[in-house]
Amino acid sequence: MKLSIYQIDAFAGNVFEGNPAAICPLDKWLPDEMLQSIAQENNLSETAYFINEGDGYQVRWFTPTVEVDLCGHATLACAYVIFEILGLENEVIRFYSKSGELRVTRKGELIELDFPKATISKCEIPPEITHAFGKEPTEVWVSEDYIAVYDNEEDIVSLSPDFNILRKLKCRGVIATSRGKKTDFVSRFFAPRCGINEDPVTGSAHCELMPYWAGVLGKNKLSAAQLSKRGGKLQCELSGERVFIAGRAVKYLEGIIEI
Tell me which residues are annotated as active site. 46
What is the DSSP secondary-structure string of the chain? -EEEEEEEEES-SSTTSSEEEEEEEESSPPPHHHHHHHHHHHTSSEEEEEEE-SSSEEEEEE-SS-EES--HHHHHHHHHIIIIIS----SEEEEEETTEEEEEEEETTEEEEEEEPPP-EEE---HHHHHHHTS--SEEEESSSEEEE-SSHHHHHH----HHHHTTSSSS-EEEEEE-SSSSEEEEEEEGGGTEEEES--TTTHHHHHHHHHHHHT-SEEEEEE-SSS-EEEEEEEETTEEEEEE-EEEEEEEEEE-
Strand partners, 253: 7
Query: What size, in residues, is the chain?
Result: 259
Using an 8 Å Cβ cutoff, are 244 and 102 in contact? Answer: no
